[in-house]
């Protein structure tokens, strides 16, 4: 049956776009963190929606699971196989990875509506550059912008460094096209500002992590540029201090507000060669960007005069300061496998939660280094932990349980994936999980779409 399926897939996309040789297949089967990996039957690389539809039909007929994959920049195992399923109520066949990387097209920008349509495999960076060429801006930005795909960022409802200014990916999506497991295509790409004609499939698929359908195209909302900005990097005593600085330092529109700790600062310096940016040593650093025409007067004068701070006004200076934040993951990754926890907590409890996290993590003897950084203004923090083996989850569980105690979410922007699937009940009620299961069953009755991601494949947890 597998041999027949490979022949059928090759007939759809061409033999060169069906990858089954192990050496070529392996990069598609391991995620960005190197913690999650598993076997797959093959990778198939369709060029358009019609080919995706045909792939879905033959896979469903064969009872073979499908795993949608974009740039494979995920950090929770959601875009790679998890191995054979042995639960008894789901297919046991190795999955076919459906890579969307060849679906790379971008329509001309609709300047009247400030929208653009793009193929799912188009990179985030290409959409950003396309929008800027038309005098507009796409509101989502990530450090992996030149690898992450639009379809993947929609499937995970990606956040990034511009959420404070524009919101999550969900707020940028005005239309979607997707292929259901049976091969049927749903397409609603008009991008109308007012369209109350039933269920909003774009919003349902945004954050669905490939568990319902394969996204093939998206219509995106663009924004008028906020103009030139200024950036300040400010030394802080603790998380309360950092939150106070973010709340009081800017008198212009906040574009971004981030936090870096001393461990992350040191590791970034190690991998980048960048100098220590301030005069004094600090346990925390707030990085704030404001829209002020690049004059620097968007910051409250008292903050600049009384704090240990460096301000960047021109493009090169701003880029340099942002490297201290954007290269955080690189700094940790240089030392080996990293346990990456993406979480969020209410702002009023963030400082107390961060303090407890430091105590909780330090109690694990295998932990060699850990750091906390992230998007402080929206309560989203990233916890990076070095030391424990990739397969050990004790420290992960302790972090997620700590977050739950403070009323937070176990996933702020990376998704549930395979990493957090057994902890979903920390953030969602039993009733909510049952409702999600019902939607999954209605859209994917055979359980073929990315089984084991977002929802457990068996049981009712």
User: Two tokens at 97?
Assistant: 């990875």
Q: pLDDT-based confidence at 92, cuts 50/70/90? A: low
Beta strands in 25-148 (DSSP E): 42-44, 66-69, 96-99, 115-119, 137-138
Q: Which element (helix H / strand E) includes 206? A: none
How sure is the predictor about 460, in pLDDT bands with cuts at 50, 70 and 90?
A: very low
Mean pLDDT of 421-430: 96
pLDDT per residue over 173-215, tens digit each?
999 999 999 999 999 999 999 999 999 999 999 999 999 999 9
With a cut of 70, say whether residue 87 has pLDDT above it.
no
pLDDT tens, 106-122?
A: 999 999 999 999 999 99
Topology, domain 229-329: Alpha-Beta Plaits (3.30.70)
Strand duo 173-179 + 18-19: pairing: unpaired
Residue 47 pLDDT more than 70? yes
According to DSSP, the residues that pair with 285 across neighbouring strands are 235, 260
CB 222 within 8 A of CB 131: yes
Whether the domain at 2-101 and the domain at 335-417 fall into the same CATH topology: no
Residue 365 has pLDDT above 90, yes or no: yes
Q: Region 387-412: what's the mean pLDDT?
A: 97
Q: What is the mean pLDDT of the chain?
A: 95
Q: Does position 380 have pLDDT exceeding 50, yes or no?
A: yes
DSSP string, 214-243: EEEEEEEEEE-----EEEEEEEESSHHHHH
Closest CA to 95 of 7, 32, 178, 2: 2
What sign for the dihedral angle of Cα 272, 273, 274, 276?
A: positive
Give the mean pLDDT of 286-297: 95
Beta bridge partners of 138: 222
Q: According to the model, what pLDDT value does residue 212 have?
A: 98
What is the per-residue pLDDT across 228-269, written as a single tens digit (0 to 9) for each? 999 999 999 999 999 999 999 988 999 999 999 999 999 999
CATH of segment(s) 335-417: 3.30.70.2740
Question: Rounded distance, CA 437 to CA 124, Å?
Answer: 30
207 vs 86, residue with greater confidence:
207
Percentage of residues in the chain having pLDDT higher than 90: 92
- Residue 188: beta bridge partners? 176
Please tell me the pTM assigned to this model.
Answer: 0.94
CATH fold of 2-101:
3.30.43
**Predicted local confidence at residue 456, as pLDDT:** 83
Q: Which two tokens stand for residue 182?
A: 């049976």
What is the average pLDDT across 160-174? 95
User: What integer pLDDT is reported at residue 89 of this predicted model?
Assistant: 47
Going from N- to C-terminal start, the domains of the chain cover 2-101, 115-223, 229-329, 335-417
* Residue 360, pLDDT score: 98
The pLDDT value recorded for residue 228 is 94
Q: Is the pLDDT of residue 91 over 60?
A: no
Q: Which residues contact 48 (CB under 8 A, 6 or more apart)?
A: 103, 216
Specify the pLDDT at position 458: 62
The CATH class of the 115-223 domain is alpha beta
Q: Closest Cα partner for 36 from 393, 294, 411, 458?
A: 393
- Position 418 scores a pLDDT of 96
> Which two tokens mark 21?
């040789």
| Contacts (Cβ under 8 Å, ≥6 apart) of 121 | 70, 99, 100, 101, 102, 103, 104, 149, 150, 151
From 176, 175, 49, select the one nearest 102 (Cα to Cα).
49
Could you read off the pLDDT of 121-159 as tens digits, one per residue? 999 999 999 999 999 999 999 999 999 999 999 999 999
Q: Is 14 left (phi over 0), alpha (psi -120 to 50) or beta?
A: left
What pLDDT shows up at residue 88?
Answer: 44
The whole-number pLDDT of residue 86 equals 42
Q: Is 171 exposed, middle or buried (0-12, 13-18, 19+ CB in 10 A)?
A: middle
Return phi, psi of residue 12, to 5°.
-85, -50
Query: Residues with Cβ < 8 Å from 40, sequence gap 6 or more?
Result: 25, 28, 29, 67, 81, 94, 95, 96, 97
Kindly state the average pLDDT of the residues 358-382: 96
Closest CA to 152 of 110, 206, 113: 206
* Structure-block tokens of residue 59: 């896979």
Compute the radius of gyration of the chain from its Cα atoms.
Answer: 22
| Angle formed by the axes of helices 262-272 and 315-326, nearest 10° | 110
For residue 85, is pLDDT > 80? no
Take residue 266 and report the two structure tokens written for it.
């040191």
**What is the rounded CA–CA span in Å between residue 156 and residue 372?**
22
Contact 178, 215 (CB under 8 A): yes
Banded pLDDT at 83 (limits 50, 70, 90): low
The Cα–Cα gap between 130 and 291 comes to: 22
What pLDDT score was predicted for residue 302? Answer: 85
pLDDT band of residue 336 (cuts 50, 70, 90) is very high
Give the β-pairing of 42-44 and 284-291. unpaired
């Amino acid at each position: 049956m597998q041999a027949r399926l490979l022949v059928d897939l090759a007939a759809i996309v061409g033999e060169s776009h069906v990858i089954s040789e192990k050496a070529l297949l392996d990069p598609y089967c391991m995620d960005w963190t190197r913690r999650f990996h598993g076997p797959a039957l093959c990778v198939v690389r369709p060029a358009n929606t019609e080919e995706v539809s045909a792939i879905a039909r033959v896979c469903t007929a064969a009872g073979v699971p499908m795993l949608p994959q974009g740039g494979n920049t995920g950090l929770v195992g959601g875009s790679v196989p998890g191995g054979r399923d042995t639960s008894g109520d789901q297919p046991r066949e190795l999955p076919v990875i459906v890579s969307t990387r060849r679906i790379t097209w971008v329509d001309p920008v609709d300047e009247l509506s400030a929208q653009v349509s793009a193929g799912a495999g188009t990179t985030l960076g290409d959409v950003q550059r396309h929008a800027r060429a038309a005098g507009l801006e796409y509101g989502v930005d990530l450090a992996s912008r030149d690898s992450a795909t639009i379809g993947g960022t929609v499937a995970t409802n990606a956040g990034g460094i511009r959420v404070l200014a524009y919101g999550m990916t969900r707020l940028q999506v005005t239309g979607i096209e997707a292929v259901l497991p049976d091969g049927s295509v749903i397409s609603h790409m008009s991008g109308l500002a007012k369209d109350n004609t039933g269920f909003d499939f774009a919003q349902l698929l945004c954050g669905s992590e490939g568990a319902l359908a394969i996204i093939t195209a998206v219509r995106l909302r663009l924004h008028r540029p906020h103009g030139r900005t200024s950036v300040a990097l400010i030394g802080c005593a603790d998380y309360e201090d950092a939150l106070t600085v973010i709340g009081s330092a800017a008198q212009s529109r906040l574009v971004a507000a981030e936090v870096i700790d001393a461990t992350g600062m040191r590791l970034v310096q190690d991998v980048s060669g960048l100098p220590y940016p301030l005069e004094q040593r600090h346990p925390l650093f707030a990085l704030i960007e404001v829209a002020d025409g690049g004059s620097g007067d968007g910051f409250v004068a008292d903050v600049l005069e009384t704090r240990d701070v460096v301000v960047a006004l021109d493009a090169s200076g701003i880029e340099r300061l942002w490297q201290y934040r954007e290269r955080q993951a690189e700094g940790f990754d240089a030392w080996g496998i990293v346990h990456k926890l993406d979480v969020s907590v209410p702002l009023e409890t963030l400082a107390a939660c961060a303090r407890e996290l430091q105590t909780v993590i330090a109690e694990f003897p295998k932990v060699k280094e850990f750091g906390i950084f992230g998007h402080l203004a929206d309560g989203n923090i990233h916890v990076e932990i070095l030391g424990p083996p990739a397969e050990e989850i004790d420290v992960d569980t302790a972090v997620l349980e700590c977050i739950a105690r403070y009323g937070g979410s176990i996933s702020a922007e990376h998704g549930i994936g395979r990493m957090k699937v057994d902890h979903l009940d920390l953030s969602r009620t039993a009733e909510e999980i049952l409702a999600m299961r019902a939607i999954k069953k209605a859209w994917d009755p055979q359980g073929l779409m990315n089984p084991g991601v977002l929802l457990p494949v068996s049981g009712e947890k």
